[in-house]
Homo-oligomer: A and B are copies of this chain.
Amino acid sequence: MNYPNGIKKEVVTRKSKDTISYQNRGMSLENDINTSNEYYREIDKAYVYKKPTPIKVTKVDYPSRDKTVIREAFYTVPSTTDYNGLYKGYYIDFEAKETISKTSFSLSNIHAHQIKHLENIDRHQGIAFLIVRFTKLNETYLLLAKDLTNFLNTNDRKSIPLSYFKEYGYLIKDNYNPRVDYLKIIDQLIGGN
């Protein structure tokens, strides 16, 4: 069957909860963001890309002079976030995550060095944020790095409650094309410049 890129995987992920792998989790939001970024590029609005998944290659074959086949490799922990790029001269950097919780977003979804990275970007005048989708509520929020940091500095909780997203984050409204129009929020934020 010829599914569009990624769709098949998503269906599998949704149906067989017990076998969700780390690599497949969040695939739906990821697809929506990827197509949104493609759209932004097509209309020459912004150049934001998903970074390739970091993989440590341990064995390769060279079946012919010009061909390399990787025979053994492992997914490694990313040192930064998944997405970065350029919009109106601004450096954009974010991580995107889905949660099936209806009440909170567990911080175990983000690595400590990713949080540190977002803080670094924020401090150096980049625009750093999380995009979090509560899949069962069908609500997607943008939370700026400074508000993430603020939460971490003032809480011992291991998860960010939905109410915090509602108060400090920005709801990204459902849209047809682009699916996740996060630059609309960024436009509000940089509007004064």
Contact = CB atoms under 8 A, between A and B. Distances in A.
Contacts of A80: 49
21 contacts: A21-B68, A46-B124, A47-B120, A49-B79, A49-B80, A51-B52, A52-B53, A52-B78, A55-B73, A68-B75, A70-B73, A70-B75, A71-B71, A71-B72, A85-B91, A86-B93, A86-B121, A86-B125, A88-B125, A89-B90, A89-B91
B87 A84 contact: no
Contacts of A54: 52
A89 B52 contact: no
A155 to B, nearest CB: 26
A85 B74 CA distance: 25
Contact of A89 (B70, B85, B126): B126
Interface in A7-50: 21-23, 41, 44, 46-47, 49
Contacts of A46: 124
Contacts of A173: none
A69 interface: yes
A69 B69 contact: no
A73 B52 CA distance: 13
Nearest to A61: B72
A149 to B, nearest CB: 16
A179 interface: no
A146 interface: no
A111 to B, nearest CB: 15
Nearest to A45: B124
Contact of A22 (B51, B68, B71): B68
